[in-house]
Amino acid sequence: MNKRAAITAVGSYTPEYVLTNEEMETLVDTSSEWIVTRSGISERRILKDKTKGSSFMASKAAENVLEKRGISPKEIDLVIVATVTPDYPYPATANIVSDAIGAVNAWSFDLQAACSSFIYALQTASKFIESGAHKKVLVIGSDKMSSIIDYTDRRTSILFGDGAGAVLLEESTDENGIIDARMYVDGSGQKHLYQPAGGSVNPASFDTVLNKQHFISMDGQAVFKVAVTKMADVAEEMMKRNNLTADDIAFLVPHQANKRIIEAAAERMGVGMEKVMLNIHKYGNTTSATLPLCLAEWEPQLKKGDNLILTTFGAGFTWGGMYVKWSISRSLESLVFSLESIVIQFNF
Ligand code: UT7
């Protein structure tokens, strides 16, 4: 029988600078009320340092994971970085991260599936653990979206932010871990969300820069329509395939692209919003980082054995779902945190 892969540590990094809706109002013709109502976003983080790229945030998130797990970077066998904003077209950002964190015994590569990059990477990484090929795999989602945003385009600039999250995958020692997953793609959706230049069809030129073709190009409504269906479809598929009812689910972990898309997925699953990891108001859409940022933020509330459904949708179109039984035991620190929350809630 195959081994089972389990998430054994989570970490994150978000830049300090907070770009609020109020500041967005000074950049483009928009209003905070419009942004909150249509997307659920109030602010996003921006990596202001122009000398730093996605590898910087990825390395910070990875170091956070290593510290929490208490292991040396030399123990890592493989580093996968999920990103649409690599430091350079080549070498891979994962190579730069491996060097930065001292993962000298690992091999590494980038994986790109737009907003589904992290879940695709997690699924890929799990196979190296299940087959027994590797013992410790780092999966990092990191995007400096501010590097491909046109801050004069109100349709896209309000949505995205910068950030990174990371997880460590190891062999499960019990029945918990990654139980099931299903990835999808429909390449005919490519025209609705893409970066027109910088690749082999439209290499960088004076004209591509002048025509702002190195920024995100998105038909928001077309993407919304498909995303709202597919993210819910794949989450529901994970529940049905694994005979899970809404009561069995501890948390839905959705890609944070639009609060309305997330609400639709939760409704289809019959899960109340109190069981949904939602931090889009603080970070906006961080593309490859949304899922691990959620896992890292909710970690103190999660119990070993909790059923999580991960679901995402992105350019491509790409989408995917995953059923995870949480593998990390609650630390003493998080138990104290939970106790404090109860005390505050009931005003003891
Ligand atoms: O993570 C990858 C996947 N990405 C997504 O899933 C994003 C999916 N799309 C969306 O989340 C939504 O389509 C948006 C949030 C991008 C836009 O919301 P919408 O409800 O679809 O708005 P819309 O594009 O239909 O625009 C409605 C109106 C338009 O004005 P008119 O033509 O009705 O006069 C827009 O020009 O709102 C206008 N508008 C804005 N107004 C104020 C568009 N952007 C803005 C803005 N501020 N920032």
The structural domains of the chain, with segments of one domain joined by +, span 5-175, 178-334
Say how many Å lie between the CA of residue 38 and the centre of ligand 1. 7
Long-range contacts, stretch 89-97, CB < 8 angstroms, 24+ apart: 89/198, 93/53, 93/54, 93/55, 93/58, 93/142, 94/140, 96/55, 97/55, 97/58, 97/59, 97/62, 97/140
Q: What is the pLDDT of residues 17-68, one digit of tens each?
A: 999 999 999 999 999 999 999 999 999 999 999 999 999 999 999 999 999 9
Pocket lining: 258 vs ligand 1, CB cutoff 6 Å: yes
Pocket lining: 224 vs ligand 1, CB cutoff 6 Å: yes
Q: Residue 238's pLDDT band (boundaries 50, 70, 90)?
A: very high
215 is written with which tokens?
Answer: 């920024």
Q: Which of 21, 64, 258, 285 is catalytic?
A: 285
* pLDDT value for 340: 63
* pLDDT value for 330: 79
State which CATH number among 3.40.47.10, 3.30.1490.20, 3.40.50.300, 2.60.120.260 fits the domain covering 178-334: 3.40.47.10
Burial 232-243 (b: 16+ CB within 10 A, else e): bbbbbbbbeeee
Ramachandran angles phi, psi of 288, nearest 5°: -75, -10
Lowest mean pLDDT among 2-6, 146-150, 210-214, 291-295: 2-6
Say how many Å lie between the CA of residue 150 and the centre of ligand 1. 15
21 is catalytic: no
255 is catalytic: yes
| Angle subtended at Cα 271 by Cα 269 and Cα 277, rounded to the nearest 5 degrees | 110
Q: Above 70 in pLDDT, residue 171?
A: yes
Say how many Å lie between the CA of residue 115 and the centre of ligand 1. 18
Q: CB of 139 within 8 A of CB of 121?
A: yes
Q: Above 90 in pLDDT, residue 333?
A: no
With a pLDDT cut of 70, the percent of the chain lying above it is: 95
Amino acid at 133: A
Q: Residue 334's pLDDT band (boundaries 50, 70, 90)?
A: low
Say how many Å lie between the CA of residue 179 and the centre of ligand 1. 36
Lowest mean pLDDT among 44-58, 126-140, 161-175, 323-337: 323-337
Q: Which of 115, 176, 192, 307 is catalytic?
A: 115
Q: What one-character-per-residue DSSP string does 138-193 give?
A: EEEEEEEGGGG--TT-HHHHTTB-EEEEEEEEEE-SSS-EEEEEEEEE-GGGGGGE
Q: Above 60 in pLDDT, residue 341?
A: no
* pLDDT value for 345: 56
CATH number for the domain running over 5-175 = 3.40.47.10
Check if 5-175 and 178-334 are the same fold: yes
Residue whose C-alpha is closest to residue 325's, from 206, 176, 195: 176
